[in-house]
Amino acid sequence: MPTYDALKQLDPDIYAAVTGEMQRQIEGVELIPSENYISKAVMETMGSVFNNKYSEGYPGRRYYGGQTYADRVESIAIERAMRLFNAGHANVQPHAGAPANVATYFALLEPGDTVLGMDLSHGGHLTHGHPVTYLTRIFHFVHYKMKDVQTGEIDYDQMREVARREKPRMILAGFSAYPRELDYASMKSIAEEVGAYAVADMAHIAGLIAGQAARNPFDDGFDVILSTTHKSLRGPRGGLILSREADLGKKIDKAVFPGFQGGPIMQMVAAKAVAFKEALQPEFKEYARQIVVNAQRLAAHFIDNGATLITGGTDNHLLLIDCVRSWGIGGREAEELFDRIGVTLNKNVIADDPRKPMDPSGIRLGTPAVTSRGMKEAEMERLADFMLAAVARRDDEAALNDLHQEVKAFCKQYPLPGVG
């Protein structure tokens, strides 16, 4: 386990917070579907001397000197990302997912252009055109929804009608809270008909695509894939933009730098390269497969015990539970209840939620992190049982304390990757 000796000596307050967080992660169950545990090699690279380097530009075309090693790591990261996703071009510099999305809009759109993306309460993301973002001051967003929340089916005929009427310049696939596989071929055909770019925001499922446990939108002709690197892909926090054609990549490079960002965060670029190497190994395929198997077992166990899941199950790494229908409590109450027993997840809106985002009807949970910890189907049932017991005994302080101790003891059997 890391000892953080220098930090302890210099700054006891931050040392206490870092070690406190480490302990929280060791003793708790992480079910937030966008979180994961990086390996020790990725963590070492993130803490490396590349932090000290400015590298505006791209390999072989930098504005400052001293780029021998920065060029090397960025070139390796680009080559590995392209190989992993079968892409014609990769930009590994976006600082995070939202900047990757914004830079792509700047690369491919003009102010006033229309984007057709998934509605937030049906699973989309803020950057797909929610009115709270500044993006809606620049671009015009229209949205599609599920036609049936029982199955999660999207109405592609309606999407085509909206596209014919609104003439979007970009059609966005992708989500942060949708448990089903999308029909990329239909979306691409709609995009082609109206002359739009087909762009997939795969931040949540990038690890599943890399591990071939989910479909790669490039196989259906998508133009661009956007991603983060820290979710199911299990790398450092950061963003990634891939394009099928190298030519589009030139526009994207210009938009990322100098269009939108300054210097790349080079220790993260290096750590992305390391994570991509891990994802290229045969065992990553098994990891990706197990994420989905675990999510499906978790879903089945909740359903068998009377819970209502949005779309009735999952094809990927995440589940959405309607807590009001399932247990007569709101999402915030459920999040706080599970926190009490050491199970971390997040409250989440459900489709056309009548409640407010800070106290919605649902919770969102997922399996990338627990799968990294080595848990399999039997452990998923155990986790669901802890949570169901907490719901049943939610007014019994002593029972919740006992459950918390049980969760801690359970977690000790599964060492935290990167930490031990």
State yes or no: is 3 an active-site residue. no
DSSP-assigned beta bridge partners for residue 228: 239
User: Are 178 and 128 in contact, with CB atoms under 8 Å apart?
Assistant: no
> Of the residues 231, 244, 272, 332, which is catalytic?
231
Q: Looking at beta carbons only, is 123 or 264 nearer to ligand DSN? A: 123
Q: Looking at beta carbons only, is 97 or 207 nearer to ligand DSN? A: 97
State yes or no: is 237 an active-site residue. yes
Nearest distance in Å: CB 392, ligand DSN: 28
Q: Looking at beta carbons only, is 205 or 403 nearer to ligand DSN? A: 205
Q: Nearest 5°: phi and psi at 269?
A: -60, -45
Tokens of 16: 């206490």
Distance between start and end Cα atoms, the chain = 6
Give me the residues that bind ligand DSN (CB under 6 A), please.
34, 97, 125, 176
> Of the residues 228, 308, 314, 367, which is catalytic?
228
CA distance 256 to 263: 10
> Of the residues 35, 74, 201, 278, which is catalytic?
201
| Element of type H or E holding 146 | strand 146-148
Tokens of 163: 């596209």
Q: Looking at beta carbons only, is 34 or 121 nearer to ligand DSN? A: 34
Nearest distance in Å: CB 226, ligand DSN: 11
CA distance 180 to 316: 6
| Three-state secondary structure call for residue 173 | strand
Nearest distance in Å: CB 151, ligand DSN: 22
| Three-state secondary structure call for residue 321 | strand
Q: Which residue is nearest to ligand DSN (CB)?
A: 34
> Of the residues 27, 56, 155, 377, which is catalytic?
56
> Of the residues 8, 62, 237, 382, which is catalytic?
237
From the list 316, 284, 285, the residue with the least C-alpha distance to 299 is 316
Nearest distance in Å: CB 166, ligand DSN: 25
SS3 content of the chain, % helix, strand, coil (to 5): 50, 15, 35
Q: Looking at beta carbons only, is 176 or 294 nearer to ligand DSN? A: 176
State yes or no: is 304 an active-site residue. no
Nearest distance in Å: CB 211, ligand DSN: 19
CA distance 176 to 35: 12
State yes or no: is 54 an active-site residue. yes
Which residues are known catalytic residues? 54, 56, 201, 228, 231, 237
